[in-house]
């Protein structure tokens, strides 16, 4: 938890309590349904929560913004972002139902009212549009864009144009080249000065 406070200081008492509650909740749920590797659960705040909040360090979502988290897994980046932005709506989607059971349990456990879930594949969602698609290390950016683009409202109402924001790691040159996209790329180690974030990036593609 200290590592979150190291980089963000403008939290309400409620947000501090919500972030603090995540560790016990994730450990409890993870013992029943494994969504975080056992070696990573002890680094929950650095490797999962802070990593998710790299998005919050790059863009301040306005109240009422609608965001879909594709392939949310255990709720990343959606759950930390939903705590950070209580007036933003988050729709967390995964094709594996038991992972969403964990997400729903965590969201209820910390009292989040701005999170909805859906057991589906992103490409099967029809008749819904969002301001942003977010995702963390789910698939190549080419695939994320193919699934996400039809779900994004066109326009720009905040500091970044509506689009896809994804968190990825490693050498992305080949992946970006194959996608034929030109994402804006931010090195997360420039935001969070921790060893873990070397070679980890935030990518933004405008709709």
Distance between CA atoms of 74 and 26, rounded to whole angstroms?
9
Does the annotation place 136 within a ligand binding site? Answer: yes
pLDDT band at residue 109 using 50, 70 and 90 as cut-offs: very high
**Residue 197: which of 57, 103, 97, 98 has the closest Cα?**
57
Does the annotation place 121 within a ligand binding site? Answer: no
This prediction's pTM? 0.97
Share the mean pLDDT of the chain.
Answer: 95
Q: Reduce the DSSP state of residue 119 to 3 states and report it.
A: strand
The stretch 161-167 carries a mean pLDDT of: 97
Per-residue confidence (pLDDT) for residue 129, from 0 to 100: 96
Rounding to the nearest 10 degrees, give the CA dihedral for residues 29, 31, 33, 37: 100
Helix ranges (H only) for 97-149 are 97-110, 141-148
The stretch 24-40 carries a mean pLDDT of: 91
**Residue 55: which of 134, 148, 162 has the closest Cα?**
134
- Render pLDDT for 49-108 as a digit per residue (tens, 0 to 9): 999 999 999 999 999 999 999 999 999 999 999 999 999 999 999 999 999 999 999 999
Does the annotation place 122 within a ligand binding site? Answer: yes
The stretch 118-131 carries a mean pLDDT of: 94
What residue ranges define each of the domains in the chain, with the CATH number in brackets?
Answer: 2-206 (3.40.50.150)
The stretch 103-128 carries a mean pLDDT of: 96
Distance between CA atoms of 162 and 138, rounded to whole angstroms?
20
């Amino acid at each position: 938890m200290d590592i979150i406070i190291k980089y963000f200081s403008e939290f309400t008492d409620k947000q501090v309590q919500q972030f603090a509650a995540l560790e016990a909740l994730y450990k409890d749920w993870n013992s029943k349904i494994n969504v975080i590797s056992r070696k990573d659960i002890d680094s929950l705040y650095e490797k999962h929560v802070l990593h998710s909040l790299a998005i919050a360090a790059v863009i301040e979502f306005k109240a009422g913004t609608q965001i879909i988290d594709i392939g949310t897994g255990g709720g990343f980046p959606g759950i930390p972002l939903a705590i950070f932005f209580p007036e933003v709506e988050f729709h967390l989607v995964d094709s594996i139902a038991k992972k969403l059971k964990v997400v729903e349990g965590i969201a209820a456990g910390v009292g989040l009212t701005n999170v909805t879930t859906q057991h589906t594949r992103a490409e099967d969602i029809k008749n819904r549009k969002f301001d942003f698609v977010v995702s963390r290390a789910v698939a190549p950016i080419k695939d994320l864009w193919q699934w996400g683009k039809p779900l994004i409202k066109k326009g720009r109402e905040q500091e970044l144009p509506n689009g896809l924001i994804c968190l990825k790691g490693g050498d992305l040159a080949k992946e970006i080249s194959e996608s034929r996209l030109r994402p804006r790329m931010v090195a997360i180690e420039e935001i969070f000065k921790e060893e873990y974030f070397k070679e980890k990036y935030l990518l933004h593609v405008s709709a």
